[in-house]
């Protein structure tokens, strides 16, 4: 059988990048092919009820209960799409017994993951690391989660003497573009509680996420020859600068942390006559989140009032909400995970997610779904890496959660 690292590398080599501009589910055919492959593998490994849902892109499967009494059904969830970074020709590298020094990812391109820029590397001295070759992301977000869930389930398949309740697993698409869980079938999943394996460093246990919204700002100007433009031209690039300057300039990702929310101008494109800006809006606090959205509306109105015509059209939509609203009503999954980590000598690192997971939406579908660590870091870029040793601890946490649930 493959080792977990071999499985991770094989999965990471497959380009499953999602596409925000696509209208299909999943958003890319590569994800469909990955899901088909995964379903075949789960069947071969001994999982039950393996199902590849074409309507939502998810692959689900079951490890049936081997107990006489009934206990809560647990679920474990991970996503197989990767983020908007180069995902072609991914060539993972394995570093045995990492020495704590700078890692040359690509000598010919002089791509170095330095300890100065990434002091977190010092936490992995002596570990086996899986890195990129300096030209792509790795895809451990979230294929590390998939590999860990499969590894944990294989433990129960291969050790029928270990008592456990029913376990459900789900692997899905398009998490990175914020819509993967939109069509998740929570009723069919049957789990009372679930966990996403989509975190990072050892011990992470997250049950608070941002409230999130997307905002598209459309700008409309007037194009006139620059030689005769006085009092006539309205340049949408200037409108874009004006609109952004009306937002709090220190409330951006690069200047915030912890529970602090932000506005992010994700991308923009302008000509003189027409422009478009895409923002994401984030805050853990629901009231502050609503105030952030109101500020966007107020700013659009202020510019339109100033010019006396509609120069700004704002289109906002909510993406997901803080899953703490649900999980704090039934804290059992958090308590199980915390106890499991403590039993294994792992210090739980309970903190808010500065983002969201599929669990943000699935929790509001009726399944409280906190997030667990995977042992991977530096997501969404060429400095992404994963630790074999921390991945193994993630597997052990899954196993311990299931054992605790069975008692």
- Residues labelled catalytic: 81, 175
Cα–Cα dist 266/250, whole Å: 16
Of 374, 384, 382, 377, whose CA–CA distance to 152 is shortest? 374
Q: Which residues pair with residue 213 across a beta bridge?
A: 281, 318
330 in Cβ contact with 191 (< 8 Å): no
DSSP string, 9-33: HHHHTS--B--TT--SSSSSHHHHH
SS3 content of the chain, % helix, strand, coil (to 5): 35, 25, 45
264 in Cβ contact with 280 (< 8 Å): yes
Cα–Cα dist 40/74, whole Å: 23
DSSP E strands in 184-261: the ranges are: 193-197, 204-206, 211-220
Cis peptide before 89 (omega within 30 of 0): no
59 in Cβ contact with 39 (< 8 Å): yes
Q: Which residues pair with residue 215 across a beta bridge?
A: 279, 316
Say which DSSP state 188 is in.
H
DSSP E strands in 165-261: the ranges are: 167-172, 193-197, 204-206, 211-220
Cα angle 341, 344, 346; round to 5: 55
H/E stretch holding 50 reads strand 48-52
150 in Cβ contact with 394 (< 8 Å): no
Q: Which residue has the tokens 């100007």?
A: 221
26 in Cβ contact with 56 (< 8 Å): no
Tell me the residue length of the chain. Answer: 407
374 in Cβ contact with 140 (< 8 Å): yes
């Amino acid at each position: 059988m493959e080792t977990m690292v071999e499985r991770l590398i094989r999965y990471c080599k497959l380009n499953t990048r999602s596409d925000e501009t696509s209208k299909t589910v999943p958003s890319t055919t590569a994800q469909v092919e990955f899901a088909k492959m995964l379903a075949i593998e789960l069947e071969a490994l001994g999982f039950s009820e393996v199902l590849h849902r074409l309507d939502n892109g998810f692959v689900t499967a079951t490890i049936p209960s081997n107990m006489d009494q009934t206990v809560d059904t647990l679920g474990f969830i991970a996503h197989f799409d990767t983020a908007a970074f180069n995902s072609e020709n991914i060539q993972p590298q394995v570093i045995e017994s990492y020495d704590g020094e700078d890692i040359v990812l690509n000598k010919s391109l002089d791509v170095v993951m330095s300890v100065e820029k990434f002091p977190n590397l010092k936490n992995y001295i002596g570990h086996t690391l899986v890195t990129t070759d300096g030209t792509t992301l790795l895809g451990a977000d979230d294929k590390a989660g998939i590999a860990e869930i499969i590894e944990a389930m294989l433990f129960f398949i291969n050790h029928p003497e270990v008592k456990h309740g029913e376990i459900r697993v789900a692997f899905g698409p398009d998490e990175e573009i914020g819509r993967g869980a939109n069509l998740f079938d929570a009723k069919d999943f049957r789990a009372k509680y679930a966990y996403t394996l989509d975190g990072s460093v050892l011990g992470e246990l997250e049950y608070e996420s941002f409230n999130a919204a997307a905002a598209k700002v459309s700008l409309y100007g007037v194009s006139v020859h620059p030689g005769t433009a006085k009092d006539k031209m309205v340049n949408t690039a200037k409108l874009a600068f004006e609109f952004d300057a009306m937002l709090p300039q220190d409330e951006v990702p690069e200047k915030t942390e912890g529970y602090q929310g932000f506005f992010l101008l994700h991308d923009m494109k302008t000509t003189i006559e027409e422009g478009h800006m895409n923002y994401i809006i984030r805050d853990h606090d629901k009231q502050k989140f609503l105030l952030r959205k109101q500020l966007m509306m107020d700013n659009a109105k202020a510019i339109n009032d100033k010019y006396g015509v509609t120069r700004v059209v704002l289109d906002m939509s909510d993406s997901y909400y803080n899953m703490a609203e649900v999980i704090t009503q039934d804290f059992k999954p958090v308590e199980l995970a915390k106890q499991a980590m403590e039993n294994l000598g792992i210090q739980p690192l309970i903190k808010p997610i500065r983002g969201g997971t599929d669990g943000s939406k699935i929790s509001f579908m009726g399944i409280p779904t906190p997030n667990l660590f995977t042992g991977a870091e530096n997501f969404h870029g060429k400095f992404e890496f994963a630790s074999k040793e921390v991945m193994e601890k993630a597997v052990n946490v899954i196993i311990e959660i299931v054992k605790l649930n069975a008692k």
